[in-house]
Amino acid sequence: MDSASHDTTALRPPAVILAPVCLLALRWRVVPGAPVVLAANRDEFHDRPFDPPRAHEGPVRFAAPVDRRAGGSWIGLNAAGVVAAVTNRPQREAVATRRSRGLLLLDALRAPSLDRLRAALERHLFGQRALYNNFHLLAASPEGAFVVRYDDGWTEITDLDEGDHFLTNEDGLDEPRVETVTAAAGHGAAAEAERLVPLLGEHGPVLPGGRAPCKHGDRRGTVSSSVIAIPPEGVRGAVLRFAAGPPCTAPWSDLDALARGLAP
């Protein structure tokens, strides 16, 4: 692995804050026939509205859900086969005038390749003052994978090795060998997506540190869930599943046609 650390600053005007996804499990070059598999649960206030994944037009088309309040997103994939997602990180006090992390995620999905995304993030973040509240940004394609750690203007980018990587809004990056992630991997993108869907709705302590994937509370909890799988041929064979509610009870939508329709 390698990493780089620098301070960071405002290159764009600030916007309201998007509270992002709180659980990511990346299987990179682990599943036969699916070099990229990303499973994610978003924890948020129940009354915060959002739209399910849709196509976003531009030079690089991408698919992502949209937070109606801040206008950003928390997970998505693009026509180049790049998958990206954000989580928040521990922070003593959030600054409401900083730019939304969800808008940064939309910027990331406009990148025409993983290498171009990394270079853009380095230009945007390194050597600048704090622009965002603390976050992780995870990005992967069949060619590579990395995670960005951002803490009050300090930035670190770390390349990920082949294997299972587990990331939450807590600090640090785990690489667990736990049943929830690794047992009986499906062969191919669709089979692995079908295997992961019910696991994201589990309430038991099946994750590192005794954490449960699906959480419930009076005001906030797990409000949506996503599984994205990219085969070697890229987005033309991509799998996208989305639950617009707690994954233990909400119906899952098969959005493969949306994902595959991004291909030029």
Starting at the earlier edge strand, list the strands of the sheet with 220-230.
Answer: 173-174, 163-168, 23-31, 34-45, 220-230, 239-243, 252-254
Q: What is the pLDDT along the chain (264 residues), one digit of tens a residue?
A: 334 433 333 333 222 233 334 889 999 999 999 999 999 999 999 999 999 999 999 999 999 999 999 899 999 999 999 999 999 888 888 899 999 999 999 999 999 999 999 999 999 999 888 999 999 999 999 999 999 999 989 999 999 999 988 888 775 555 443 344 444 556 799 999 999 999 999 998 877 667 789 999 999 999 999 999 999 999 999 999 999 999 999 999 999 999 999 998
Backbone φ, ψ for residue 210 (5° rounding): 75, 25
Fold held by 3-260 = Penicillin V Acylase; Chain A (3.60.60)
Spell out the domain ranges in the chain: 3-260
What are the CB-based long-range contacts (under 8 Å, 24+) for 1-5?
1/158, 1/159, 1/160, 1/161, 2/158, 2/159, 3/156, 3/157, 3/158, 3/159, 4/122, 4/126, 4/155, 4/156, 4/157, 5/154, 5/155, 5/156
Give CA 213 to chain center in angstroms. 15
